[in-house]
């Protein structure tokens, strides 16, 4: 499953997002101003 979050949300919830990626087999896309900038 692919989820998207903005930079502010990623900054405040980084450990939760990393756990979702590591243990939940998820892909998280981090967006800035509505455009994808990074993926976990």
CA distance 37 to 6: 9
pLDDT of residue 13: 97
Domain assignment of residue 24, given as a range: 2-34
- Tokens describing residue 15: 């450990």
13 domain-assigned: yes
Number of separate domains in the chain? 1
Q: What is the pTM of this model?
A: 0.84
35-38 long-range CB contacts below 8 Å, 24 or more apart? Answer: 36/4, 37/7
The CA-to-CA distance between both ends of the chain, in Å, stands at 12
pLDDT higher than 90, residue 28 = yes
15 domain-assigned: yes
pLDDT of residue 38: 97
Residue 28's DSSP bridge partners are 3
pLDDT higher than 90, residue 1 = no
Average pLDDT, the chain: 96
pLDDT of residue 7: 97
């Amino acid at each position: 499953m692919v989820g998207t979050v903005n930079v502010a949300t990623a900054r405040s919830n980084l450990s939760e997002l990393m756990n979702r990626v590591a243990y939940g087999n998820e892909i998280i896309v981090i967006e800035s101003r509505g455009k994808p900038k990074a993926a976990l």
